[in-house]
Amino acid sequence: MIDQSTFSRPLLDWFAAHARDLPWRRTYDPYQVWISEVMLQQTQMDRVVGYFQRWMAGFPDVRVLAAAPEDKVLTAWEGLGYYTRARNLLRASRYVMDNLSGTLPRDHAGWLALPGIGPYTAAAVCAIAYNQPHAVVDANVSRVMARIFDLDVPVRQRAAATFIAEQALALTPPGQIRHFSQALMELGALICLPRRPRCSSCPLHDICEARRLDIVLERPVPSKAVTYIPIDVATGVLMAQGLIYIQKRPATGVWAGLWEFPGGTIEGAETPEQTLIREYMEETGFVVNDPRKLAVIRHGYTKYRVALHCYRCRLEDDQPKPPPILAAAQEYRWVRQEELNQYAFPAGHRKLIDQTFS
C-alpha cells in the first residue's frame, strides 16, 4: 500500500506550484465554492470561469440569488445546459433564506438537506470551503486513482468508487483536505489526461502502477458505451408586423421554463416544412405558410443527437397577431429582435438566434 507522505507530499508541492488562479480559490467563500462546483458539473473549466464571474456580478450572495426571478437565473445560466442545476440553486437559496435565516450550512448533513444537493456537492463544499474531511471524487480524481492503483474494473462500480473515496481520505494529511482534494482534481485536469496523459510531468510518476505496467491508456476501464438516438426536429421563427413569436415551455419536462420557437419531431414521411406547419397549428392554432429554410443546426442533450431544421415563416395572409391557444406552453411574447437576448433558450434555439440575427 502507498504511504501517505509518499503520495501527498509531491502532489501538494506540485499543486502549490501549478494550481490555476481560479476566482473561487481566492477566498474559499462557501457560496462561491457551491456555485463553482455546480457549474463545473457537466461543464469544462475554461467555460465556467466566465460564467462564474458574470453570475457573481448578478447574484453576489445567497440573499440576492434567492430574491431573483427564475427567468433571470435561467438567462444567466444559458449556455451551460442542464438547467435543472440553475433551478436547484434557486430552490436551495430560497430554502436557506426561509429556513436557515440566510446562513449557509456548515456541515455535510446540512448541505444534503438543501434541495437539489447530492453527496458529491455536499462533500466538495465541506472539503473545499470548510476544510472538513470528506472525499471529493470527480471524474478527474477517479482517473488518477484508477491509474495509480491499476484498478481493473470501471470506476463507477460501487466497489471501485468506495475504494477510491477511502484511499483519497486515507492519503490526505491531517488538515489538508482542501488543498489535497483540489490537487487531485487539478492533476487529472492538467496532467493525467484521458487520451494524452503527460506522465513525464506527473508528480506521482514513480508510484503509478499503470505507468509501470505501460497500460496508462487502458485505465480507467471504460463503462458500457452510451448509445445515442438521432432525431430530426423542425422549428420556425414566426415574424409578424416586425415582431417575433416566442413561447415559454411548460414548468415540467425537457427544457422546462425555457423560451423557444414552436416546432417538434418530424414524423413518418413528413417533410420538415409539413412538420413546421402542423406543429404551429397544434401548439398555437396559428396557420403559417411560406416556410423558408434558415439552417440545419446540430446539437445534443442526454442520449439524443438532434438535427434541428430551422425556418422563417409568416402568418397566412399576413393577418394581425392573434392570441395563441398555448397547447404546449405556459405563456407567450411577441418581441423585437434585439430583445431575444433577454430570454433563456435551449442551446439549439440560441444557435439559431445567433446565426440568424447576429
Enumerate the β-bridge partners of residue 230. 305
Q: Name the residue with cell 467563500.
A: 29
Using one digit for the tens of pLDDT, what is the confidence trace for 305-336? 999 999 999 998 666 678 999 999 999 999 99
pLDDT band at 42 (very low <50, low <70, confident <90, very high): confident
How far, in Å, CA of 124 to CA of 104, rounded?
A: 14
Question: For 191-217, what is the mean pLDDT?
Answer: 98
Q: What is the pLDDT of residue 18?
A: 98
% of the chain beyond a pLDDT of 90? 91
Exposure of 328 in the CB half-sphere (CA atoms within 13 A)? 18
Q: What is the pLDDT of residue 280?
A: 97
Q: What is the pLDDT of residue 270?
A: 96
Amino acid identity for residue 148 in this structure = I
Q: What is the pLDDT of residue 179?
A: 99
Q: Could you check whether 4-218 and 229-357 share the same CATH topology?
A: no
Exactly one of 37, 78, 186, 283 is catalytic; name it.
37
H helix or E strand, kind and range, residue 20: none
Question: For 55-82, what is the mean pLDDT?
Answer: 97
What's the full length of the chain, in residues?
Answer: 358
Q: What are phi and psi of 190, to 5 degrees?
A: -110, -30
Burial letters 284-301, b for 16+ CB under 10 A, else e: bebebeebeebeebebee
Peptide bond into 203 cis (omega under 30): no
Q: What is the pLDDT of residue 319?
A: 66
Q: Is 37 one of the catalytic residues?
A: yes
Q: What is the pLDDT of residue 321?
A: 76
How far, in Å, CA of 327 to CA of 264, rounded?
A: 13
Name the residue among 40, 215, 49 with its Cα closest to residue 139. 40
167 pLDDT above the threshold of 90: yes
How far, in Å, CA of 256 to CA of 254, rounded?
A: 5
Q: What is the pLDDT of residue 226?
A: 81
Q: What is the pLDDT of residue 316?
A: 81
Question: For 252-269, what is the mean pLDDT?
Answer: 95
How far, in Å, CA of 25 to CA of 16, rounded?
A: 12
Look over the chain and give the mean of its residue pLDDT values, rounded to a whole number.
96
229-357 maps to CATH 3.90.79.10: yes
Using one digit for the tens of pLDDT, what is the confidence trace for 91-128? 999 999 999 999 999 999 999 999 999 999 999 999 99
Q: What is the pLDDT of residue 320?
A: 67
Q: What topology is assigned to 4-218 in CATH?
A: Endonuclease III; domain 1 (1.10.340)
User: Which cell numbers in the block locate residue 168?
Assistant: 483519497
Question: For 267-288, what is the mean pLDDT?
Answer: 96
Lowest-pLDDT range, 13-17, 252-256, 309-313?
A: 252-256
Question: For 53-61, what is the mean pLDDT?
Answer: 98
Distances (CA, A) of 35 to 44, 159, 343: 14, 30, 21
Question: For 285-295, what is the mean pLDDT?
Answer: 94
Sorted by where each begins, the domain ranges of the chain are: 4-218, 229-357
DSSP per position, 49-93: HHHHHHHHHH--SHHHHHHS-HHHHHHHHTTS--THHHHHHHHHH
How far, in Å, CA of 39 to CA of 52, rounded?
A: 8
